[in-house]
Each structure stands twice: as C-alpha cells, then as structure tokens.
Amino acid sequence: MESQLLDLAESAIKKAEALGAEQAEVYIGSSKSFSIDVQNNAIKSARNKRDAGCGIRSVIGKGIGFAYVTTLQDEDISEAAEKSVRLARSSIEDPDFESLPRSGGRYPTVSGLFDEKINQLSSEEAASLILRAVDATKNELSEMKMAIEARLIASSDFRAIVNSLGIAGSARGTTLWLYTYPTVKEGTDQTSSYEFQLTRNLSEIDPEWIGYTSAHNAIGNLGGKIIKSDDLPVILAPLAVGTIIGQGFAGAVNAEEVQYGRSYIADAIGEEIASDKLEIVDDGLLPGGLGTRAFDCEGVSSQRTEVLVEGVLKGLLHNSYTANKEHVENTANASRPSYAGTPSISSSNFVISEGKGSLDDLVEETERGIICRNTGDRPNMTTGDLSAMVMEGLYFENGEIQHSLKNTLIGINMRDVLLRATRIGGDTRSIGSVIAPSIVIESAKITSG
Amino acid sequence: MEDLAQAAIDAALDVGATFADVRIENTVTTIIEITDGVSKDSLASRLKGAGIRAFIDGAWAFAQTTDLTTGGMRETGESVGKLALATKTKVAEKFEMEGPVFKDRVRFKVKVPFADVTFEEKMAYVKMINDQARSFDKRIVNTRTVYGDLWTERYTANSFGTSVWMENSLPRVISVSTAKDGSSRQRSFKSFGIRGGFEVYSLERPQNLGEESARNAIDLLSSVAAKGGTYDVIVDPVLNGVMVHEAFGHACEADNWPAHTTVLEDKLGKMVGPGHLNLSDDPTMEGQRGTYEFDWEGTKTKKRLLVKGGILRELLHTLETASRLGMEPNGAGRAQSFMFEPLPRMSNTMMEPGDWDVDELMQDMGTGMLLCNFNYGYTEPSKGQFMFQASHGYLIENGEIGQMVRDVSLAGQILDILPKIDAVAKDFEMEAGTCRKDGQMVPDNSGGPHARIRQVPVGGM
C-alpha cells in the first residue's frame, strides 16, 4: 500500500512536469477513523471514515499553482495536475520565491508516532473506553441532574511527500481522542465542563480521569458570580495557556506574519520580550508528541528550535519560503491541514518549560485573583490586544477558592502577558501539540458585570 | 446519481436498517490570494464523493466513500447498515424517524458561471482589489486579498423516497489591510459574499473592497483601546447579526433538546425578550450567502420565526430532531461536505427591524458606545454563555459620535441579553460569514438593524 502511494505520487509529479511544471510537489494523504458519540449519557452513533486524496504544487518560473482532489483516481489526479500548472502560469510571479526544498539526506528517527493497538482498535474496545469515561462522569455527579456528551475518535493516517528535487518521504501515525462534556443542573443554575486526552498511544488514555475531572470541574462551575472589576493577578491553567500562548504567541512567531509586518512581536529577535522565567521551544522531535514528525509538510527534516530563552526571543518558525526570503535556516515548520491545502507555518510541539508547584500552591502564593481554566479567545495578532472571556474560571481570596465566575473578561496586551508571566507552575500537561503548565500573570484588567 | 444512491440505500436496508440516506456531492472551488501585489496562493480543488447514513431504533451510523460506482456504493451502504445494527445494542433512547417526501431538481442559474472564467480573469480582479488597498495610503504596509468561488451540485436521497438534486454558486472576496504609523500597527478585515456567479464581483461593494479595508485600517491608527466596564451600547447591523447568531441562534438548534444542552430547554412558548423583539432565520431569502432551496437531508426550506413578539416560537430542525420532538421539519440540516453528517444549523439569521431612527437612538442614549463590525464570536449554549468582539466602535457622548475604540469584546448570558435590548432601529443590513459547529464550517449570513442594549459588560485593556 505504502509503496503504491509513493509510486502514485511519483507518477503525478511526471504528469505535472509533462504539462510544463519546472518543479512539482505531490502530497498524498490517506486516513481512516472510527468514532463513537455519546448523547444524554448513552451511545447514539458511530462513524467509519476513509479519506484519501492528492494535492499537487507546480512551479513555473516564480509562479506557483496548487490543486487537490478528494480521490486517488487517475483521471482526477490528471485534472489536478493540469489545473495546478494552469494556475502556476496565470499567477503573478513572486520575486521572493526561490525553490521548493531540496533533499537534505536521511530523516531523523522519531519514535512513538504509531500504535498498532489504536490502528486495530475494535468497535467493542472503543465502546468500552467511552462508556468507562461516561460512567466515571456519572459516578462523580451521583444524584445530580446531568446530561453527558462524549466522543471517541481513533484515527490512523499515512502521508507521502515527493518533489522533483529529490524529496521523498512517507510516514504513518495514529491518534486517539476521548472527551467528556457533562452539563449539570441545580435548580435554575446550569453549567458544564470539558476534559479530554489526545494521544498517539493507547496506554496513555485514562477514561476514569477524563470522566472524573470533567464532572468535578462542572460541579465547581455551578453558582457563577460576577466580581468587582479590578486589576488582578490571573492564573492561566494549562487549557487556557494552550489557547493564549499556544495559539496567541505561537502564531506571532510565525516568520511569515513577522515578514509581512502583521505580528505584534515584529523586529524583536534578540530582545528580552518576556519574563526571564519563560522558556519555550518548538520541538518537532519530541518522542510520541502529537506534533512530532520526521519531516515537515514540505518534506524537510524536523528539528528542535529555541523560541524563548530566559525571556529573550531567539528565533522564529520558518518554512522553505520564509527561510529562503531571509536567507536563514529553515526550521521545518511547514504545515498543511492534509492534502487539501497549501503549506503555511505552524508550531510542531510548542513546549513551555515548567517551574514548580501545583495549581493549589499557585493559588495559595498569589492570595487574591482569578483562575482562568479555559477560554476560546485569541489576541488580535497585529496589536497583541487580548480580550478573553473566562469560559471556566474561579475567584480566590486569602489563598482560597471563593466561587466560580460568570460574565467575566480578561483584558491585557500579549506583550504584557509575556512580561508578567513571573511564576510558572509544575503541573505540565499536553493540550494537543502544546505542552504547558499553569502560568501566573501578575496583573490584568478584569471586567465583570 | 439516482441509481448510485439507491444501491447504497437498498444495501443498508437489506442488512436491517429502518432508515438510510445518501448525499452525493461534486464541488469545484478556486481560491486566489494576492499579498502585496504578488500571488500568495492559487488553489483549485474538486470534492467528489458520497456520505451515507443508516438508522435503526435510535442508533445512527455514518460512512463516506469516494468510490462512486454501484459496487462501491453498495459495499459502503452495507457496512454502514451493519455498523448501525451493532450500535443499536448500546443505545439507551429508542425513537423512530419520520419525515415528508420531496422530489425536485433545482437548477441555480447565474449570469457568468465560474467555470466560464479563466484563472487570468479571476487573478486580474484580485490584483485590482489588492492594488486599490496598497495605493490607498503610504501607511498601508501589508495587503491581503483572498478570492474564493464555489460551485456545487448535491443529490440527496433517502429511504422515505426523497430525491432532490440542487446546485449552488457562492462567490466571496476578503480584503485585509495592515497599517503602521510609528509603533502603532492596525489591521482591518472586510469581506463580501452573496449567492451568484462571477458577475457578482462587478457590484459596487466588491469593486471597492480594497479601499474599504485600507480606509478602516488607517482610521484605526487613531483609535484607542476601550476602557473595560459596564456600558449602554448600540450595536450596528453587522454586529447585531453576530449577536443574534452567537447569543441566541446556536441555542435554538434543536439537537440541544434531546441532548439537554441548552439553557433554552424549558423556554419554548415562553417570553425570552421584550415584546417588540423578533428574531428569525430565513434560508429562502433571495440571493443571499445562507440561501438554499432544500437542506442536506432533502427537506424543503422555510423561514423560521425563532422569536416572535419576544416569545421563543420555533427551533432549527433536522429530520431527527423534528421526529423526536414531534415538530415540523423546517430544512435546517446542513453539512460542510459529503464527509460529514447534517446538523441543525443557521442560514440567513437576523433581528427584524423596529421603528427607531438611528440618530434618535443615539440621541436618546446620551452616553455609551456604538459598536461596529466583528472580529469573531463564540458560544456555549449548555453554560448559557457567549462572547463576541466588535472590530471597532465609538464612544458616544451627549448623543454624538466621539473617540474611535477598537477590539471591543462583549460577554454575556443567553437568558440575560435579550431582555436588555430596549430599542430597535428601522434600518437593515446583512454580512457574509462562516459558521463553525462540531468541526464543520458552513457559509452563512447574518444581520439586522442598529439596536440598543442596556448595561452590558464590555472588555477592555
């Protein structure tokens, strides 16, 4: 199967070249997934998905065209090759484009990306895992009025990247995602919470922990109150760090955004932009990491890139285009959603170094402030202004939790988030491809009402 | 297509399913992005495949295939039927599926089909808009223009006998400008999208979208961050649409009822807002981005009066939610593509106009904020919580427009916000958008008139 798909990619390259492409690149993705949904405390549906398709990038002069199709049939691939060449011809040449990447020799060895147990997971095993998580949620909620939603998705995928300059790579991977989302009611009060694990290895899944934690937090979210608007310390729990730093800062060190002058950290390489407690690396080689890969989405060998060292901005995340444009090292951060998209830039595993102490320790030390457990908000990437709703949060005073929060917003610029991150916890967890502990932000504008 | 769909449906029924349906899709898109005068992305795609569902006694199964042969469809139909049967043993809540039968074939005629326009012509339009933004002011430091066209044909059939073919054609253009002055950097996002062919790009607004975003980015250079606090606010038509969508529309999606995940669960038929308030969702509006004749389950669409006279009257249904709640299906089942199952979704969502004059509304308020346009928004109906962000706004003092402010966030509770809407103007405007739910993106449209909301928390720096 794998060598067949590599052959298919080689033949697609030849098609594009025969139509006039000077360079061509083919990305073939093939995946299967099995998923189960729980609604109102019981299994409701199951899904079997198989997806395979092909994306072709053609280069003529400094013009680039891209086309993809959701099948691997010969006539469809021919149509995609033909369209990508036509688009390359009609596009406006980009003087900064130099070349597709060349082969740099052997790929590094990475481990823990494929688990045969996930690949072979039966529908019975999958049902048992999700029901264990649901039972653990029910147990914790005991007599309360509840409605539990849950989902399990087991996927395995294969991808192959080939280009006309000698790049040829293929890799397999598996992931398992399990979450529970209980809604609880008490009188007229209603709230919910969410907990999940997303991993490449079946042995890491702990359905009882997921169920218990989501239920425990849902109970804690009942009785939400507003507080007096004020400047207060904010403890960002790992889920919130995953969104605010994992997206809001990782997106700002994207070299393309910086080169175009669209990032709030423009021109800051070598400068102290963060508290000296904050250390971040982008690690494409982390064993078993969700963002781990031997090569990026252009087929370039993965690496470990220092982003923040003692608060100093060390480097940006590049793909071949942005690295060539500035004549700097390509950090192999090319990413694409699947065969169905052009390469952009994103972090691989964005790892924030941990400090010491549990969330409880941080609350005790900080004395008064709020915990933001979760938010869906990202900053304005150009100004850095962040106005984030506390989706799940708690108010604490004298080092003790007082109550949960409603209608509460955190206002702060991302530059201040980085500078005021003066205390880092030891409670590291993975939130997808972001590895993060809790972080205390010394002060932010809290609006509640 | 009819024979292929029937092969899958028969195979699913043969192994024991009591209901089955099929969506076969063929979609062609072009996306062209020009940044700072040069091509950034030029992308063409074809989506081709079928999604098949089978149902028995409250258990669903779904599968997709790109093998559009009789054999491929039969095989997928059989496997999805078996999966539904296996799932049935673990299902707690049993129910039956019911639904009306529709047979139709709806051509969507456009003046200039996207397929008849060369890539060069499309590229020339994108370059024109990009140049417009670049040359607007020397403080404009980055310009992105993204063109997207989509033509789709979709055939839906089910075991009740529904057989509907329809096509759609959606043009869209986005212009994002970044301005810089000293250390101040600002960005403006503007977009346009309705229903039609390539001729739509000749309309006045899409011909001037580069200038519109560049002007807004320059204006933002003199804006200040809003000061957080509780304010009386007036939302403009675009932001009003986003508010209706986030703060209320999602909570009206009927899949929340069997799942018990909306704070509106006990509110059907009850007052949820002031008596003058009317909110609706209307996929039958002519020529809009959220318009379609039949939904992804093949149900004919109709206008949904979600809130009429302040009372929650109607929900957004799929065949399943209508069957389980004993209500009329209203064609709200939408899916991103054949790779997904239909869910209850919004289309063209709006607050209906009232009788206030916009100037009067401002005068009457005295002090507060006028909030305009949007960056994004989201909601969790199970918590009853939502937030959305205006891209900019203005302080209102003595009824007059004052200092420009930016990135103003507004958070609130679904059950609290509607009663705070005390005045609705008589103007009306809609804006194109894209809505995300459960990992599925669908094109939508929302809007309304200017409206005033009393005492809401506004986030600031």
Residue A443 at interface with chain B, using a CB cutoff of 8 Å: no
Residue B408: closest CA among chain A residues belongs to which residue?
A387
Instruction: Tell me whether residues A76 and B142 touch, CB distance under 8 A.
Output: no
A152 belongs to a structural domain: yes
Buried b (16+ CB within 10 A) or exposed e, B65-76: bbebeeebbbbb
Closest to B368 measured CA to CA, from B412, B408, B399, B409 = B399
Q: Are strands A230-236 and A369-374 parallel, antiparallel or unpaired?
A: parallel
Give residue A2's pLDDT.
Answer: 78
CA distance B277 to B266: 19
A92 belongs to a structural domain: no
Domain that holds residue A201: 116-162+174-219
Residues A215 and A247 in one domain: no
Residue A278 is given by DSSP the state -
A378 belongs to a structural domain: yes
Q: Which two tokens stand for residue A108?
A: 């590094």
CA distance A411 to A394: 16
**pLDDT digits 0-9 by tens, B173-227:** 999 999 999 988 899 999 999 999 999 999 999 999 999 999 999 999 999 988 8
Give residue B161's pLDDT.
Answer: 98
Residue type, A31: S
Residue B121: closest CA among chain A residues belongs to which residue?
A90
Instruction: Tell me whether residues A49 and B34 touch, CB distance under 8 A.
Output: no
B307 CB contacts (<8 Å, ≥6 apart)?
B248, B272, B273, B277, B278, B279, B280, B313, B418
Give residue B303's pLDDT.
Answer: 98
Give residue A105's pLDDT.
Answer: 87
Q: Which residues 110-139 of A are in CB contact (within 8 Å) with B?
A: 123, 127, 131
Q: Are strands B229-235 and B368-372 parallel, antiparallel or unpaired?
A: parallel
DSSP-derived secondary structure for A99-159: -PPPP-SSPPP--S---HHHHT--HHHHHHHHHHHHHHHHHHHTTSEEEEEEEEEEEEEEE
Residue B339: closest CA among chain A residues belongs to which residue?
A49
Closest to A344 measured CA to CA, from A354, A330, A334 = A334
State ipTM: 0.92
Under DSSP, is residue A449 helix (H, G, I), strand (E, B) or coil? coil
A285 belongs to a structural domain: yes
Q: Could you tell me if A45 and B60 are in contact, meaning their C-beta atoms sit under 8 angstroms apart?
A: yes
How are strands ordered across the β-sheet holding B304-308?
B311-312, B304-308, B279-281, B348-351, B440-448, B429-437
Q: Chain B partners of A76 at a C-beta cutoff of 8 Å?
A: 46, 48
CA distance B368 to B395: 6
The Cα-based distances of B25 to A77, B217, B320 in angstroms read 18, 40, 22
B322-327 own/partner pairs: CB under 8 Å, 24+ apart: B322/B98, B322/B99, B322/B254, B323/B95, B323/B96, B323/B97, B323/B98, B323/B99, B324/B95, B324/B257, B324/B258, B325/B254, B325/B257, B325/B258, B327/B254
CA distance A434 to A247: 9
Residue A221 at interface with chain B, using a CB cutoff of 8 Å: yes
In the beta sheet, which residues pair with residue A181?
A149
Instruction: Tell me whether residues A48 and B62 touch, CB distance under 8 A.
Output: yes
Instruction: Tell me whether residues B387 and A123 touch, CB distance under 8 A.
Output: no
What is the distance in angstroms between the Cα of B123 and the nearest Cα belonging to chain A? 7
A210 belongs to a structural domain: yes
Where does a domain end: A185, A219, A253? Answer: A219
In the beta sheet, which residues pair with residue B185?
B180
A104 belongs to a structural domain: no
Which of B35, B263, B456 lies nearest to residue A190, judging by beta carbons?
B263
Q: Provide the CATH number for the domain around residue A144.
A: 3.30.2290.10
Could you write out the three-class secondary structure of chain B? CHHHHHHHHHHHHHCCCCEEEEEEEEEEEEEEEEECCEEEEEEEEEEEEEEEEEEECCEEEEEEECCCCHHHHHHHHHHHHHHHHHHHCCECCCCCCCCCCCEEEECCCCCCCHHHCCHHHHHHHHHHHHHHHHCCCCCEEEEEEEEEEEEEEEEEEECCCCEEEEEEEEEEEEEEEEEEECCEEEEEEEEEECCCCHHHHHCHHHHCHHHHHHHHHHHHCCCEECCCEEEEEEECHHHHHHHHHHHHHHHHECCHHHHCCCCCCCCCCCECCCCCCCEEECCCCCCCCCCCCECCCCCECCCEEEEECCEECCCECCHHHHHHHCCCCCCCEECCCCCCCCEECCCEEEECCCCECHHHHHHHHCCEEEEECCCEEEEECCCCEEEEEEEEEEEEECCEEEEEEEEEEEEEEHHHHHHHEEEEECCCEEEEEEEEECCEEEEEEEEECCEEEEEEEEECC
A325 belongs to a structural domain: yes
SS3 content of chain A, % helix, strand, coil (to 5): 25, 40, 40
Residue with tokens 């804690």: A220
Under DSSP, is residue A320 helix (H, G, I), strand (E, B) or coil? helix
Number of C-beta neighbours around residue B301 at 10 A: 20
Could you report the average pLDDT of every consecutive run of 10 residues in chain B (461 residues)?
Answer: 96 97 98 97 96 96 94 96 92 91 98 98 98 98 98 98 98 97 92 98 98 97 90 96 93 95 94 97 97 98 97 98 96 97 98 97 95 91 90 94 92 91 97 94 97 91 76
Give chain B's end-to-end CA distance (angstroms, integer).
56
Number of C-beta neighbours around residue A105 at 10 A: 6
Give residue B96's pLDDT.
Answer: 95
What is the distance in angstroms between the Cα of B259 and the nearest Cα belonging to chain A? 5
Q: Which two tokens stand for residue B63?
A: 């599968």
Residues A208 and A302 in one domain: no
Number of C-beta neighbours around residue B267 at 10 A: 17
Q: Which residues 166-195 of A are in CB contact (within 8 Å) with B?
A: 181, 183, 190-192
CB-facing half-sphere around the CA of A97: CA atoms within 13 A:
20
Which of A40, A93, A380 lies nearest to residue B258, judging by beta carbons?
A40
C-alpha A11 chain-centroid distance? 33
Which of A40, A70, A412 lies nearest to residue B93, judging by beta carbons?
A40
Contact pairs from chain A to chain B, CB under 8 Å: 253
Residues A152 and A266 in one domain: no
Q: Chain A partners of B24 at a C-beta cutoff of 8 Å?
A: none
Q: Are strands B140-158 and B184-193 parallel, antiparallel or unpaired?
A: unpaired
Residues A212 and A245 in one domain: no
Closest to B158 measured CA to CA, from B327, B333, B326 = B333
Residues A322 and A212 in one domain: no
Residue A105 at interface with chain B, using a CB cutoff of 8 Å: no
CA distance B145 to B34: 5
Which regions of chain A are under pLDDT 70? none
Report the domain count for chain A: 2
Instruction: Tell me whether residues B258 and A87 touch, CB distance under 8 A.
Output: no
Which of A260, A341, A409 lies nearest to residue B228, judging by beta carbons?
A409
Helix and strand totals (H; E) in chain A: 10, 23
Residues A195 and A247 in one domain: no
Residues A330 and A401 in one domain: yes
Residues A243 and A211 in one domain: no
Q: Could you tell me if A444 and A232 are in contact, meaning their C-beta atoms sit under 8 angstroms apart?
A: yes
The residue of B85, B142, B184, B260 whose CB has the most chain A CBs within 10 angstroms, and thus the best one to mutate to test that interface, is B260
CA distance A112 to A371: 34
Give residue B92's pLDDT.
Answer: 78
Q: Chain B partners of A93 at a C-beta cutoff of 8 Å?
A: 38-39
Could you write out the three-class secondary structure of A386-431? EEEECCEEEEEECCEEEEEECCEEEEEEHHHHHHCEEEECCCCEEE
Q: Chain A partners of B458 at a C-beta cutoff of 8 Å?
A: 447
Residue with tokens 């964005």: A350
Closest to A424 measured CA to CA, from A293, A255, A310 = A310
Instruction: Tell me whether residues B123 and A91 touch, CB distance under 8 A.
Output: yes
Give residue A364's pLDDT.
Answer: 97
Q: Which two tokens stand for residue A47?
A: 């899904």
Q: Are strands B400-413 and B224-225 parallel, antiparallel or unpaired?
A: parallel
The residue of B382, B414, B437 whose CB has the most chain A CBs within 10 angstroms, and thus the best one to mutate to test that interface, is B382
B452 CB contacts (<8 Å, ≥6 apart)?
B232, B233, B234, B361, B365, B421, B422, B423, B424
**pLDDT digits 0-9 by tens, A1-18:** 778 898 999 999 999 999
Residues A212 and A233 in one domain: no
> In degrees rounded to 5, what are phi and psi of residue B420?
-85, -5
Closest to B408 measured CA to CA, from B397, B395, B422 = B395
Q: Which domains does chain B have, with CATH numbers?
A: 2-220 (3.30.2290.10), 225-459 (no CATH)
Residue A340 at interface with chain B, using a CB cutoff of 8 Å: yes
Q: Could you tell me if A4 and A30 are in contact, meaning their C-beta atoms sit under 8 angstroms apart?
A: no
CA distance A179 to B126: 43
Q: Which two tokens stand for residue A211?
A: 């169920």
In the beta sheet, which residues pair with residue A231?
A445
Instruction: Tell me whether residues B83 and A48 touch, CB distance under 8 A.
Output: yes
A393 belongs to a structural domain: yes
Residue A221: closest CA among chain B residues belongs to which residue?
B383
Instruction: Tell me whether residues B39 and A64 touch, CB distance under 8 A.
Output: yes
Residue with tokens 């808009």: B129
What is the distance in angstroms between the Cα of B285 and the nearest Cα belonging to chain A? 32
Residues A373 and A397 in one domain: yes
CA distance A49 to A57: 26
Where does a domain end: A186, A201, A219? Answer: A219
The residue of B383, B415, B437 whose CB has the most chain A CBs within 10 angstroms, and thus the best one to mutate to test that interface, is B383
CA distance A411 to B227: 9
Residues A198 and A289 in one domain: no
Instruction: Tell me whether residues A447 and B459 touch, CB distance under 8 A.
Output: yes
Q: Chain A partners of B40 at a C-beta cutoff of 8 Å?
A: 94
Residue B406: closest CA among chain A residues belongs to which residue?
A385
Closest to B280 measured CA to CA, from B432, B447, B111 = B447
